[in-house]
């Protein structure tokens, strides 16, 4: 977006592990196609058409219509980079702006975490009867499980809370879809977390560097794209004469408002997930997160501008 606006940009790749599989809904797919002007961006990826849910104390299993694609993060990044050209040579040791899309951030930025929920991603082999166009989610006593099918009878199992073996031992839905579970390929935090400040003169954080969403209740990929749209719009507005302090405050307020909304949505899901000490701890952490967001949010900052397409303009 900055390149399309005529700005000189360079990039520095940071090596990090990629998620083996992510699910992208229709809204996020459209957003990415619009930003990158690529109608063929998701062609050939496996489709998800049904969501099967066993959540909470109810014994009923719900089967709901769904529309999404399953992609590996690495393959998605590779497709996004096609057509963008090679990274340019840095023209200055001190750029006007640095965009942090991954850590580390400048020392003055501190990460705030609301919970402690490790998530493990395990490769699995599906039972022949398992619907290849369905995703599956289930809450159990000490956490929850999410099954995402892949190709050729394989898939990925996300286990949040206790070990995957412990969670599957009390599963009544997802374990019936599996014929084999391999050891986890990686463990990562799944609780909400956010850095503050999110921007200052000369730098801005977005994507993974800015915040992390709980995969149960958030489209982290879509949120990262929206942050990138707002960050580039903020930089363009400042570079064309906009007021830096008010634009930076607006950017941070918008992101914090989205983070607060995400925590509120998480609270609704975790309240209905199950009963017991594990679920009580998650609720306490999420309630603390809501209180913290309310303390940080300056209401007036979020109303100074509005996003028109990919550009910021003063609110009337």
Q: What is the pLDDT of residues 208-257, one digit of tens each?
A: 899 999 999 878 899 999 999 999 999 999 999 999 999 999 999 999 99
Residue that is last in its domain, among 189, 217, 237: 189
- Residue 219 to residues 48, 105, 283: CA-CA distances in angstroms? 15, 23, 20
- Residue 97, pLDDT > 80, answer yes
The whole-number pLDDT of residue 297 equals: 85
Q: What percent of the chain has pLDDT over 90?
A: 70
More confident residue, 14 or 190: 190
Residues 164 and 229 occupy one common structural domain: no
Residues 100 and 223 occupy one common structural domain: yes
Residue 198 counted as domain residue: yes
Residues 144 and 220 occupy one common structural domain: no
Residue 195 counted as domain residue: yes
The answer to whether 108 and 200 have CB atoms below 8 angstroms apart is yes
State pLDDT tens for residues 101-110: 988 999 999 9
The whole-number pLDDT of residue 85 equals: 59
Residues 179 and 197 occupy one common structural domain: no
Domain span holding position 128: 122-189
State pLDDT tens for residues 196-217: 999 999 999 999 899 999 999 8
Residue that is last in its domain, among 189, 217, 232: 189
Residues 210 and 181 occupy one common structural domain: no
| Nearest C-alpha neighbor of 136 from the set 177, 170, 105, 101 | 177
Residues 298 and 246 occupy one common structural domain: yes
The distance in angstroms from the start CA to the end CA of the chain is 25
Q: What percent of the chain has pLDDT over 70?
A: 95
In 42-177, the DSSP E strands lie at 47-54, 62-71, 98-100, 110-113, 118-126, 134-140, 143-149, 154-161
Residues 221 and 101 occupy one common structural domain: yes
- Residue 88, pLDDT > 80, answer no
Residues 196 and 289 occupy one common structural domain: yes
Could you tell me the CATH number of the domain that includes residue 108? Answer: 3.50.50.60
Residue that is last in its domain, among 189, 210, 225: 189
Q: What is the CA radius of gyration of the chain?
A: 21
Give the CA angle between residues 250, 255, 257 to the nearest 5°. Answer: 95
Mean pLDDT, the chain, rounded, equals: 90
Residue 75 counted as domain residue: no
| Nearest C-alpha neighbor of 229 from the set 31, 85, 6 | 31
User: Given the DSSP bridges, would you call strands 98-100 and 186-189 parallel, antiparallel or unpaired?
Assistant: unpaired
The answer to whether 73 and 19 have CB atoms below 8 angstroms apart is yes
Residues 134 and 267 occupy one common structural domain: no
Residues 102 and 204 occupy one common structural domain: yes
Mean local confidence (pLDDT), 270-298: 93
The whole-number pLDDT of residue 187 equals: 87
Q: How many domains does the chain have?
A: 2
- Residue 304, pLDDT > 70, answer yes
Orientation of helix 277-296 relative to helix 244-273, angle to 10°: 160
Mean local confidence (pLDDT), 255-277: 93
- Residue 100, pLDDT > 70, answer yes
Residues 128 and 184 occupy one common structural domain: yes
């Amino acid at each position: 977006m900055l390149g399309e606006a005529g700005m000189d940009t360079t990039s520095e790749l940071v090596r990090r592990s990629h998620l083996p599989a992510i699910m992208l809904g229709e809204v996020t797919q459209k957003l990415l196609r619009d930003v990158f002007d690529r109608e063929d961006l998701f062609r050939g990826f496996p489709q998800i058409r049904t969501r099967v849910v066993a959540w909470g104390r109810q014994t009923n299993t719900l089967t709901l219509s769904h529309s999404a694609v399953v992609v590996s993060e690495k393959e998605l990044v590779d497709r996004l980079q096609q057509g963008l050209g090679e990274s340019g040579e840095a023209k200055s040791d001190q750029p006007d702006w640095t965009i942090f899309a991954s850590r580390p951030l400048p020392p003055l930025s501190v990460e705030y975490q609301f919970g402690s929920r490790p998530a493990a991603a395990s490769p699995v082999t599906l039972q022949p009867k398992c619907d290849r166009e369905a995703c599956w989610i289930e809450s159990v006593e000490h956490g929850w499980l999410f099954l995402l099918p892949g190709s050729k009878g394989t898939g990925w199992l996300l286990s949040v809370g206790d070990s995957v073996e412990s969670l599957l031992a009390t599963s009544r839905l997802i374990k019936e879809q599996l014929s084999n579970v391999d050891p986890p390929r990686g463990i990562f935090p799944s609780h909400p977390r956010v850095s503050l400040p999110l921007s200052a003169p000369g730098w801005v954080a977005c994507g993974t560097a800015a915040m992390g969403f709980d995969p149960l209740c958030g489209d982290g990929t879509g949120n990262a794209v929206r942050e990138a749209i707002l960050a580039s719009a903020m930089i363009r507005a400042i570079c064309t004469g906009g007021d830096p302090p008010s634009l930076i405050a607006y950017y941070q307020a918008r992101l914090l408002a989205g983070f607060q909304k995400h925590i509120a949505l998480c609270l609704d899901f975790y309240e209905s997930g199950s009963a017991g000490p594990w679920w009580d701890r998650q609720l306490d952490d999420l309630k603390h997160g809501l209180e913290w967001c309310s303390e940080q949010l300056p209401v007036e900052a979020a109303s100074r501008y509005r996003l028109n397409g990919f550009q910021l303009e003063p609110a009337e």
